[in-house]
Amino acid sequence: MKTVSEFHSLNASTALVSVWYRGRRLDLPEGANLAAALLAVGITSFRETPVSGAPRGPYCMMGACFDCLVTIEGVTRQACMLEVSAGLRISSLADPQGGQDAL
């Protein structure tokens, strides 16, 4: 997994909370836009397409393109429409339980 972010942050340091992403712990800014927060820590591919398995990441950042889909508590959600909260468990569409064993 790519871990060097293409983005750098203009923010003064903000409070971080722990979330689980595909079984690994990430510390993300509390209340931040989830898609942006994942991009900021170098996660660029959020899912693989059902047709060809191609990697996809956020495209529109406004809830219209559905390319940033992730699974949260068994439900498919748009990462760009969510905020980071402590303990969030994020997994992939293909493996909705993925990483939960690690908890």
Site residues (vs another protein, CB under 8 A): 2, 6-11, 32-33, 36-37, 39-40, 44-46, 49, 51-52, 54-67, 69, 75-76, 81, 83
Let me know: does 43 contact 19? Beta carbons within 8 Å. Answer: no
Least CB distance to another protein at residue 65 (A): 5
CB of 11 to another protein, least distance (A): 4
Closest approach, Cβ 18 to another protein, in A, equals 19
**DSSP output for 31-59:** TSBHHHHHHHTT----EE-TTT--EE--S
Instruction: Specify the residue for token string 């402590």.
Output: 86
